[in-house]
């Protein structure tokens, strides 16, 4: 396996190249002063090629590959899981240079604190502790490099201890592929399939938005079976179409495959975020906008890339950030004159930021330079704020100030988007056509330039 076998994951591969360089030429890497990585966590929905990427990383570097899955440990007797972890690391160390891959690490690595115990967790805890001590116990050095890779689609449930520096402190996001990515994946999986001369891969990719790499591999395989069943000489786009229907039926109505209306709404929403980020003076530039669902719950996303590390953030910048968060819903109201549930995460983040502005950072004139945020308390593993020292009147003012800040920025976002309505339409069309675009698309839309999907 090499990276040639992985399609549509250029960003993830870019981030993994350093690992290869280290595995291949550890002395060289060390001599140049590179900090040797230890653990890499691959994060993404099922079937997007995390296992494949881990294997291909070992393959590219030409080192041994050791694989296990967290779910295998769950049913074991106490002590067995921990022993297995020890064995695995010992084998890998002997075979070094090597890559250890732990799939579904959330099965053993769930947060230990807090939640009420129902028993049966001892094994997991022992296994996790063994894993942590194995990771800490060896120093990756140039003579026998071992890299630990792990995969999960639920990073939020992982025990924070796993993510600490020197453990899985690198995270690589692996998402569902966009249009170009799906073309690459379909090409990879049609290598041994006889496609009809007029089989249009791009058209096939357009028919499969929201599908993972594994889904696409399945569909291609199913198409070949269908073509064989009707004794055809080659696979046509009609076979492919039929295969999609079968796979979709097998997947049961999955929300990952969006209908056109939903797609358009999501495209407007994300374009709204991106345009506001470009229009306000203090926002980080947009690096990527996508309407390919990245995780359960999220329908699209807009990535902003900070230009520098920030230590102090001015009030104006915070307000601009809130305006950007409100940009999604603002676009929806302008276009549809109605609103959807697609903004709940934006609203939560904006509210949280506004709350901190008034209760922690003294940024409301009404409330002054006073701290109102309560003491953080640990309660059942989560952080809870103790606000019992605040008078009801003060709480009312805090709530009113939060509402004012968020509402002002939402109105500001709406105003800006109304002024740039044409750019909003153009960027949305661009997104609907290409599914994911980089920051230059925002500038092009604002300049009124038509674009084609980039290869
Ligand atoms: P994950 O580990 O993320 O659940 P896998 O790596 O197990 O996904 O993917 C299962 C199979 O689906 C792979 O063996 C491969 O055939 C196919 N596949 C998934 N993602 C890709 C991709 N990005 N490029 C090519 N094939 C892929
Ligand atoms: Mg896998
Ligand atoms: Zn949003």
Whether pLDDT at 191 is above 70: yes
**What is the residue-averaged pLDDT of the chain?**
85
Is the CB of 55 within 6 Å of ligand 1? no
Is the CB of 188 within 6 Å of ligand 1? yes
Per the structure block, which two tokens stand in for 88?
Answer: 């695995």
CA distance 186 to 209: 13
Nearest Cα neighbor of 183 from 168, 170, 195 is 195
Whether pLDDT at 250 is above 50: yes
Question: What pLDDT is attached to residue 307?
Answer: 59
**What is the distance in A from the centroid of ligand 1 to the CA of 319?**
41
Q: Give the residue numbers marked as catalytic.
A: 270
Closest-lying ligand to the alpha carbon of 299?
3
Phi, psi at 158, each rounded to 5°: -70, 145
Question: What pLDDT is attached to residue 227?
Answer: 94
Handedness of CA 219, 224, 228, 232 (dihedral sign): positive
Is the CB of 364 within 6 Å of ligand 1? no
| pTM (2 d.p.) | 0.66
Question: What pLDDT is attached to residue 253?
Answer: 42
User: Which of 56, 104, 177, 213 for a ligand 1 pocket mutation test, highest count of atoms within 8 Å of Cβ?
Assistant: 213
Highest mean pLDDT among 14-28, 117-131, 192-206, 247-261: 192-206
List, for residues 367-378, the tens digit of each pLDDT value. 999 988 766 555
Phi, psi at 302, each rounded to 5°: -125, 125
User: Which of 59, 214, 295 for a ligand 1 pocket mutation test, highest count of atoms within 8 Å of Cβ?
Assistant: 214
Closest-lying ligand to the alpha carbon of 50?
1
Residue whose tokens read 């934006």:
346
Q: What is the mean pLDDT of the segment spanning 304-311?
A: 62
Whether pLDDT at 381 is above 60: no
């Amino acid at each position: 396996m090499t990276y040639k076998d992985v399609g549509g994951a250029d960003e993830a591969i870019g981030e993994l190249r350093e690992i290869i360089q280290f595995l291949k030429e550890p002395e060289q890497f060390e001599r140049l002063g590179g900090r040797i990585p230890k653990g890499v966590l691959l994060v993404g929905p099922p079937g997007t090629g995390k296992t494949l990427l881990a294997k291909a990383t070992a393959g590219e570097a030409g080192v041994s590959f050791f694989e296990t899955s967290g779910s295998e440990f769950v049913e074991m007797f106490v002590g067995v899981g921990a022993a297995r972890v020890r064995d695995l690391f010992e084998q890998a160390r002997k075979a070094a240079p090597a890559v250890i891959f732990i799939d579904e690490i959330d099965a053993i690595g769930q947060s230990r604190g807090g939640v009420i115990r129902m028993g049966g967790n001892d094994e997991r805890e022992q296994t996790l502790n063994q894993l942590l001590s194995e990771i800490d116990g060896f120093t990756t050095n140039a003579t026998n490099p071992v890299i630990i890779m792990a995969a999960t689609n639920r990073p939020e449930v992982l025990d924070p201890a796993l993510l600490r520096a020197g453990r899985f402190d690198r995270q690589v996001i692996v998402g569902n592929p966009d249009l170009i990515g799906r073309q690459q994946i379909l090409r990879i999986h049609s290598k041994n399939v006889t496609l009809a001369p007029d089989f249009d891969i791009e058209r096939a990719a357009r028919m499969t938005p929201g599908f993972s790499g594994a889904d696409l591999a399945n569909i291609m395989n199913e198409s070949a079976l269908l073509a064989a069943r009707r004794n055809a000489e080659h696979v046509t786009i009609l076979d492919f179409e039929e295969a999609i229907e079968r796979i979709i039926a097998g997947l049961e109505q999955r929300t990952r495959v969006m209908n056109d209306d939903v797609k358009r709404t999501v495209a407007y929403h994300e374009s709204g975020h991106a345009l506001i980020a470009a229009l306000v003076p203090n926002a980080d530039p947009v690096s990527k906008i996508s309407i390919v669902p990245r995780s359960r719950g999220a329908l699209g996303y807009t990535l902003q890339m900070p230009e520098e590390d920030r230590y102090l953030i001015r009030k104006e910048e915070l307000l601009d950030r809130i305006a950007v968060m409100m940009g999604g819903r603002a676009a929806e109201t302008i276009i549809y004159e109605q609103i959807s549930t697609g903004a709940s995460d934006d609203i939560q983040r904006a509210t949280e930021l506004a709350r901190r502005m008034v209760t922690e950072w003294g940024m409301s004139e009404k409330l002054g330079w006073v701290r109102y945020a309560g003491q953080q308390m640990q309660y059942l593993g989560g952080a809870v704020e103790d606000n019992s020292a605040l008078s009801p009147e003060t709480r009312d003012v805090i709530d009113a100030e939060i509402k004012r800040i968020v509402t002002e920025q939402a109105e500001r976002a709406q105003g800006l988007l109304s002024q740039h309505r044409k750019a909003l339409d153009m960027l949305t069309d661009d997104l609907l056509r290409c599914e994911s675009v980089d920051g230059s698309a925002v500038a092009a839309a604002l300049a009124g330039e038509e674009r084609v999907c980039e290869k």
